[in-house]
Amino acid sequence: MSAFRIALSGDFNKSDGSPAYPMFDLSPLENAADVEVAYVDPVDGRMTAASLADFDALILLTPIFDADSIPQDGRLTIVARFGVGYDTVDVDACTKAGIGVCITPDGVRRPVAVTIMTFVLALAGRLFDKDRLTREGPAGFAKRSDYMGLGLVGRTLGSIGIGNIGAEAFRMAAPFEMRHIAHDPYCNPATADEIGVELVDLETVFAESDFLCVNTPLTEATRHIVNAKSLALMKPTAYLINTSRGPTVDQAALLAALTDGTIAGAGLDVLDPEPPSVDDPILKLDNVILTPHALCWTDQCFAGIGASDVEQVLMIKNGQVPPHLVDKGVAASSAFQARLKAYAAG
C-alpha cells in the first residue's frame, strides 16, 4: 500500500506558515513510517472533496465538512475533530460513505470542567463587579457593600447533561459542599450515584439550581433547550453557565431574562452567532461574563486534544477502530471494515 496520507485543515497554520498551536505535537505522525502529512486549506470555510482526494485521514479544526466535502475516490477513512463538538461535520453523510468521525473527550474533559468552575467562582464572588469597583478608587471602595457575593456551601449546582465534562465538573466541585443535581435521560443512575449527583427532571434542574450549567452537545433535541419558558422557572438569584454550544440557548430569551432580572447573571463561553456583532446587546450587559469560545484554551488542553487525534488517526493506520467515534455503527460498515483490513495488511 502507498503511504498513509493525513490532511490537516489549513487553519492549523498561521498566514506565515508557522504553526498556530505549537503545543499540538505532530512528531508522532512525522516520525511514523510510511506516513505523509499535508495542510489542506478550506474554501470559504468548507473543506472540498477535490482537495482531499488521495488522503486517508483528516484532522479538522474549524472548517465545515459536509456531504460535498467527501472525496469520490473512497479512500478517506477518518475525520478527526480537534475537540468534542461535531456540529460542523455531517456525521450521517460520513457514515453512509463509510467514514468514521471521531472526537477527543479525553483532551477536553478537565479543561472545560475547569472553565465551568471558573465561571461559578467568578459569578459567585462577583469578581468582575469588584474589579470595576477597585478601578474607581475611593468611590468604588465606598460601594463594595452593595456587591455582596454568594457563598457556595449548601447551594445547588445543576447541569443539563452529565456526560464526560459534566461529570468532571461535579467531581471538581465536591469540596465546595454544594448539592449536585442534573437532568440527563441517557445517564445510568448508578453513574450519577457514584459521583454524588441526584438525577431530576428538566423542570426541576431549572427551578432548583443556583448555578445551572449546560453540558450537552448541540442536536435538534437540545437546540434552545434553554428558552423563555425554562428561564422563567429559575430563581432570580440564579446564574446560567454555558460552555457547550451557543444555540443550546435561545439568546434573545436569555437577553430578556438578564435585562429584566429573571435571573441574576450568566457566564457564557459560547454565543449565537459566533462571533457576535459588535453591537449585539448582550455585549453591553454588566451581569454577564463573556469569553470567546476559548476559556478552556490552554497549552495543556490543546496538547491533550492533539494527542488524542494523533492516537486515533494512527489506530486507523494500524487497522484498529478508534475509541471515540461519534457514530460507533460506522465501524461495522463494509467500506470502513475493508479499509481497516487493507491498512492492517500494510
pTM of the model: 0.90
86 touches 244 (CB < 8 A): no
Residue 234: is its pLDDT beyond 70?
yes
pLDDT tens, residue by residue, 152-200? 999 999 999 999 999 999 999 999 999 999 999 999 999 999 999 999 9
Give residue limits of the domains in the chain. 4-103+298-345, 108-290
Measure CA of the first residue to CA of the last residue in the chain; give whole Å.
Answer: 6
Q: What is the CATH number of domain 4-103+298-345?
A: 3.40.50.720
pLDDT band for 346, please (50, 70, 90 cuts).
confident
DSSP 328: G
Domains 4-103+298-345 and 108-290 share a fold: yes
**Contact in structure between 187 and 160 (CB atoms under 8 Å):** no
| Rounded Cα gap, residues 63 and 261, in angstroms | 38
Query: How sure is the predictor about 1, in pLDDT bands with cuts at 50, 70 and 90?
Result: low
Indicate which residues carry an active-site annotation: 245, 274, 293
Distance CA 262, CA 330 (A): 45
- Residues 6 or more apart in contact with residue 31 via CB below 8 angstroms: none
Q: pLDDT tens, 328-340? A: 999 999 999 999 9
CATH class of residue range 108-290: alpha beta
User: Of 337, 309, 166, 345, whose CA–CA distance to 243 is shortest?
Assistant: 166
Crossing angle of the two packed helices 105-124 and 164-173, in degrees rounded to 10: 50
Q: Per the structure block, which three cell numbers stand in for 315?
A: 489506530
If pLDDT is split at 50, 70 and 90, which confidence band does 2 have? confident
Average pLDDT of span 92-104: 97
Q: In this predicted model, what pLDDT tens digit does every residue of 194-220 receive, in sequence order?
A: 999 999 999 999 999 999 999 999 999
Angle (CA) 273 279 280, round 5°: 40
- For residue 59, give every residue at least 6 positions away whose Cβ sits within 8 Å of its Cβ, in sequence order, or none: 6, 7, 8, 9, 12, 80, 82, 309, 310, 313
